[in-house]
Amino acid sequence: MPTALEITKLTKRYPTGVDALKGVSLSIEDGEFFGLLGPNGAGKSTLIHCATGLAQPTSGTIEIFGNDAIHHYREARAAVGLAPQELNLDWFLTVEESLDYHGGYFGMPKRERRERVAELLDTFSLTDKRDDRTRTLSGGMKRRLILARAMLHRPRLLILDEPTAGVDVELRLELWHYVQRVNAEGTTILLTTHYLEEAEQLCNQIAFINDGEIVAQGTSAELADRYGTASLEDAYLTLVGRKELSRAHIADAGEAEGTT
Ligand code: ADP
């Protein structure tokens, strides 16, 4: 069984001279829920863009279920569903059209598309919005539509780029619930997030990326152990050089102040 995503010595230098990825190797097993964490500018989006053909790697290889992302682009791309960070919907299409066109883009026959669209509208509670233009949806509905669209062609690997950035608590929990179910049904997931509790809750493997390099990988408990910290959050703060922000540290400092 090939791995879901196999990245080997990936580098990306933008024309500006920025080295966004400096030799990243990463292996995501079929069925895993994998979290990629790192500060802004660490290279997360660049990695996702390279894996989905939106950016051309400078060197290194990317295989998606055994298909090279460049030389077998169609096969590799067909296996991936991407829910991007930005709400990149076509504001003039209806909800149903947005899904239907996406299925068409991935070569799904009309009848299959119709059934799949109806199923996803139902799953994401968007059925009564099917004829509404996407620009009229609430922020939460747009997020749900983006996730439904990413799932439409039944990808084996789902890439979620900060899917819960700026969403309210209810929608965050709703999205967690949904992606956990999708994962339990066999879809491999790569998630980037700034919310450490989200990664802790959802991911069975987590990698820290910093300045274009993977600096650590393991389960949440293993990473805390590696950095000699009590939690994933503290491990992360150690990584980004901001240990003083640790809640444990702040509590200790508060207590020490109270005793003097
Ligand atoms: P993250 O998603 O972790 O915030 P990015 O992959 O967006 O990180 O960025 C990694 C580095 O590459 C940053 O230094 C960023 O400024 C740079 N970068 C990203 N996109 C481009 C681009 N299109 N052209 C030039 N530099 C870029």
Give the Å distance between the CA of 57 and the centre of ligand 1: 13
Ligand 1 is surrounded, with C-beta below 6 A, by 14, 16, 18, 20, 38, 40-46
Place of tokens 């051309």: 56
Q: How many angstroms does the Cα of residue 60 sit away from the middle of ligand 1? A: 18
Instruction: Note the helical H segments in 40-168.
Output: 44-51, 73-78, 95-105, 110-123, 139-151
The span from the first CA to the last CA of the chain, in angstroms, equals: 62
Q: Which domains does the chain have, with CATH numbers?
A: 1-79+155-218 (3.40.50.300), 89-154 (no CATH), 220-260 (no CATH)
Residue closest by Cα to atom 5 of ligand 1: 43
Calculate the alpha carbon distances from 221 to 192, 227, 232, 240 in Å. Answer: 18, 10, 7, 18
Distance 239 CA to ligand 1 centre (A): 19
Helix, strand, coil percentages, rounded to 5, for the chain: 45, 25, 35
- The one-digit pLDDT tens for each residue of the chain (260 residues) are 779 999 999 999 999 999 999 999 999 999 999 999 999 999 999 999 999 999 999 999 999 999 999 999 999 999 999 999 888 999 999 999 999 999 999 999 999 999 999 999 999 999 999 999 999 999 889 999 999 999 999 999 999 999 888 788 888 898 899 899 999 999 999 999 888 889 999 999 999 999 999 999 999 999 988 888 888 888 888 888 888 888 777 777 677 666 55
Residue nearest to ligand 1 atom 18, measured at CA: 20
Ligand 1 centroid – CA 46 distance (Å): 6
Q: Which of 18, 52, 162 has the most ligand 1 atoms within 8 A of CB, as the residue to mutate?
A: 18
Res 259: pLDDT: 56
Atom in ligand 1 nearest the alpha carbon of residue 38: 3
